[in-house]
Structure 1
């Protein structure tokens, strides 16, 4: 019995292919991965993220970008929910190569990728100093930050203040969850 081995798509071939597609696709370094829609809760958190970051970064050198723009990280192409760049981005740019802070709103269908593969890609991208994963089911974030040659993660929740010195801002975690109603969930064991 013979098994046909699939050949990986190159980044250049993916970018040309994606331009012809109606929907958005990420590239995992091997093949295209379809982007799916999110919940209303996801959308509210994402909106709050743009407002909180945009307000604090207005007039500063670092700027927030939405999920409409893609980033190149460790041989992959990703559409994070939001990201911050501190270098100039020309208006016709389709792919940003130097994100500094990346935000993902976790969904049940993507959480394992966000915690695993994307976390490794963001860690392996030297420009990225911080990666923030926002939960949808409670007011909590998992934050990874670059510390010298290490990539350190910690969890913040409740009334925590997120300090992001690499983009010169701080903000309450609660701002990301303004207008979000959490369903009753069992306590964690």
Structure 2
């Protein structure tokens, strides 16, 4: 979830990269201004956690890293800074790194305030990353997964379908991911 910054923002990406680590909360850079990342719902956090847990278990013992929200992803030819809900990379990460190198998988959980950006702007930005194999968006209010792959396909999976992540040999039934998170 995000909200535009009301204070005088940094004017360039370089100023943002120097400014952002000193802030009390996390910000993305949309190419023009900082955008504060504000709190989300339990469903939002839990969906990302469930995918994170499944990926960590499936990829244990491999050289990949699965990261939740703390490392930035540079997009749009390194002119924008994003903090996806979950990112996977096969590239080495050093302890002091703040930027995720060569993401192969990105997950965003959609919210009312960020859904349009996640489906539009971020989708285009992530698709331009040469390393990215798959971008997944999960609705938090219905069992829906929107899956975009490197080949350019765009598929929506609903209710009793599964989220298939062939890059990791993993299939996640949507009913399991959403168990206990939806009313009714």
Q: How many residues align?
A: 175
TM-score (norm 1): 0.85
> Aligned equivalents of 1:158 and 1:26: distance in 2?
31
Q: 2:108 aligns with which of 85, 97, 104?
A: 104
Q: Report the counterpart of residue 27 of structure 2 in structure 1.
A: 25
Equivalent in the alignment of 2:17: 15
Structure 1, unaligned runs of 5 or more: 1-5, 185-189
Offset at residue 8 of structure 1 (A): 8.0
CA distances 1:61-81 after superposition (whole Å, capped 9, x unpaired): 222101122111112111111
Distance (Å, rounded) in 1 between the aligned partners of 2:27 and 2:103: 19
Aligned: 1:39 with 2:38: no
Q: Which secondary structure does the structure 2 equivalent of 1:44 belong to?
A: helix
Q: CA offset at residue 133 of structure 1?
A: 0.2
CA shift for structure 1 position 50: 1.5
Between the aligned partners of 1:92 and 1:178, the Cα distance in structure 2 is 36
The alignment status of 1:162 with 2:163, answered yes or no, reads yes
Deviating beyond 6 angstroms after TM superposition, the runs of 4 or more aligned structure 1 residues are none
Write the mapping of 1:84-163 to structure 2, written as runs, cut at 5 A.
Answer: 84-147=88-151, 151-163=152-164
Corresponding residue for 2:50? 48
CA contact (8 A) 2:145 2:163 kept: no
SS in 1 for 2:150: strand
- CA shift for structure 1 position 139: 0.8
CA distance in 1 between counterparts of 2:9 and 2:114 reads: 25
Structure-2-length-normalised TM-score? 0.87
Can you give the 5+ residue segments of structure 2 that lack an aligned partner in the other structure? 1-7
